[in-house]
């Protein structure tokens, strides 16, 4: 798949200005709610119209304001999986699926039967959407979408409304179906785990613009910019003053830090993931006294919040089995190789 998007759209005070070029099978778009990621998907599907720019999918121009191309949603062959699934409530599962199928009546019936078989919906083919479980609803929506033979699938927060235990199973299921039908996808979410699990490359959108784009693993390893670091889940970010080629001062933490990477002029922030912080018995370089003010426990990990000499907080996360007794006499160590230098 290749997606080439460059669109602008004004919405009151908000301006959407997205430039994104990707050739990975599954592209993720990560952002907080209201950042414009859903609007971007709606523009690709043709539900919303950008003010200017172009949208090219697999070499097919869906929209180009200069060439006056604006294909109808019906002609775009873009499958849209809505967060609420948008199943037609008055139609049975079978009718929902045939509603999207192409071809003659006979072909539609055949295609629907095949899809219901492979999506394990045959037993509930005569049920209405409200009689289905959450998983069956999502499978129906997906089967309906695949029946329309799209060239690309857009997932708009498709898992966000689900209970945690169901979410992981359905993510796995959907990923399987996308692979089985070799369907490229653009996956929009505010959930970084979802993006990390499902996509090959990912973009971070902040207030209407792409602030970082890379293949997913690289992006999470080093997001490059502070906003992207925060959105990809980096808990500790501080503005910095550069002291030398490999030394900086983290203003929020009141801490002098040595780095492995060279610090260039564009670096404005330093960050470190909560999991990368270590504990030491005595103070060394890149460490501060562990003045722990709060402990948050969740089923599989534990978070210590420490207050720093600079007044800012540092969060440290440990998985359950590494659990240590919080101590006030030790030090928190920020390994130089784990520091993220951010613009």
Interface positions with other proteins (CB under 8 A): 42, 45-47, 72-80, 82, 84, 86, 88-91, 99-100, 102, 144-145, 148, 150
How big is the chain, counted in residues? 343
User: Cβ of residue 309: shortest distance to other proteins, in angstroms?
Assistant: 52
Nearest to 87 by CA among 46, 40, 134: 134
Shorter beta-carbon distance to other proteins: residue 88 or 196: 88
- Torsion over CA of 11, 14, 17 and 18, rounded to 10 degrees? -90
* CA dist., res. 182 & res. 144, Å (int): 16
User: Cβ of residue 91: shortest distance to other proteins, in angstroms?
Assistant: 8
Tokens describing residue 143: 């089967």
Q: Which helix (H) or strand (E) holds 272?
A: strand 269-272
Tokens describing residue 113: 């039967």
Shorter beta-carbon distance to other proteins: residue 2 or 91: 91
* CA dist., res. 202 & res. 139, Å (int): 25
Those residues whose C-beta lies under 8 Å from the C-beta of residue 322, and which sit 6 or more positions away, are none
Shorter beta-carbon distance to other proteins: residue 40 or 222: 40
* CA dist., res. 256 & res. 241, Å (int): 9
Would you say 310 and 248 are in contact if contact means Cβ atoms under 8 Å apart?
A: no
- Using alpha carbons only, give the angle 107, 113, 119 rounded to the nearest 5 degrees: 130
User: Cβ of residue 154: shortest distance to other proteins, in angstroms?
Assistant: 8
User: Cβ of residue 53: shortest distance to other proteins, in angstroms?
Assistant: 20
User: Cβ of residue 232: shortest distance to other proteins, in angstroms?
Assistant: 29
Shorter beta-carbon distance to other proteins: residue 178 or 340: 178
Shorter beta-carbon distance to other proteins: residue 90 or 282: 90
Shorter beta-carbon distance to other proteins: residue 70 or 200: 70
User: Cβ of residue 90: shortest distance to other proteins, in angstroms?
Assistant: 4
Shorter beta-carbon distance to other proteins: residue 139 or 316: 139
Cα torsion 126, 149, 202, 172: sign: positive
User: Cβ of residue 77: shortest distance to other proteins, in angstroms?
Assistant: 8
């Amino acid at each position: 798949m290749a997606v080439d998007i460059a669109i602008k759209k004004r919405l009151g005070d908000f301006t959407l200005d997205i430039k994104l070029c990707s050739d990975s099978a599954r592209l993720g778009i990560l952002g907080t709610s209201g950042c414009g990621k859903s609007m971007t998907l709606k523009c690709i599907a043709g539900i919303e119209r950008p003010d200017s720019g172009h949208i090219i999918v697999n070499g097919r121009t869906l929209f180009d304001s200069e060439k006056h191309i604006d294909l109808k949603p019906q002609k775009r062959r873009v499958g849209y999986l809505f967060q609420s699934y948008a199943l037609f409530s008055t139609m049975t599962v079978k009718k929902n699926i045939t509603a999207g199928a192409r071809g003659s009546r006979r072909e539609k019936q055949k295609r629907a039967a095949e899809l219901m078989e492979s999506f394990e919906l045959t037993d509930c083919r005569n049920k209405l959407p409200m009689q289905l479980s959450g998983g069956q609803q999502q499978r129906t929506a997906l089967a309906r979408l695949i029946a329309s033979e799209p060239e690309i699938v857009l997932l708009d927060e498709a898992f966000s409304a689900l209970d945690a235990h169901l979410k992981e199973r359905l993510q796995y299921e959907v990923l399987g179906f996308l692979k089985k039908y070799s369907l490229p996808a653009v996956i929009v979410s505010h959930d970084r785990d979802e993006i990390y699990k499902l996509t090959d490359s990912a973009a971070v959108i902040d207030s209407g613009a792409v602030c970082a784009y890379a293949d997913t693993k690289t992006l999470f390893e080093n997001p490059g910019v502070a906003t992207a670091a925060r959105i990809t889940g980096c808990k500790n970010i501080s503005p910095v003053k550069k002291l030398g080629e490999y030394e900086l001062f983290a203003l929020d933490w009141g801490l002098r830090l040595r780095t492995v990477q060279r610090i260039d002029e564009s670096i404005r922030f330093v960050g470190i993931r909560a999991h990368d912080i270590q504990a030491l018995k005595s103070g060394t370089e890149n460490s501060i006294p562990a003045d722990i003010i709060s402990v948050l426990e969740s089923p599989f990990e534990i978070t210590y919040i420490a207050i720093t000499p600079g007044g800012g907080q540092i969060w440290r996360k440990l998985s359950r089995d590494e659990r240590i007794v919080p101590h006030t006499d030790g030090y928190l160590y920020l390994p130089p190789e784990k520091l993220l230098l951010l613009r």
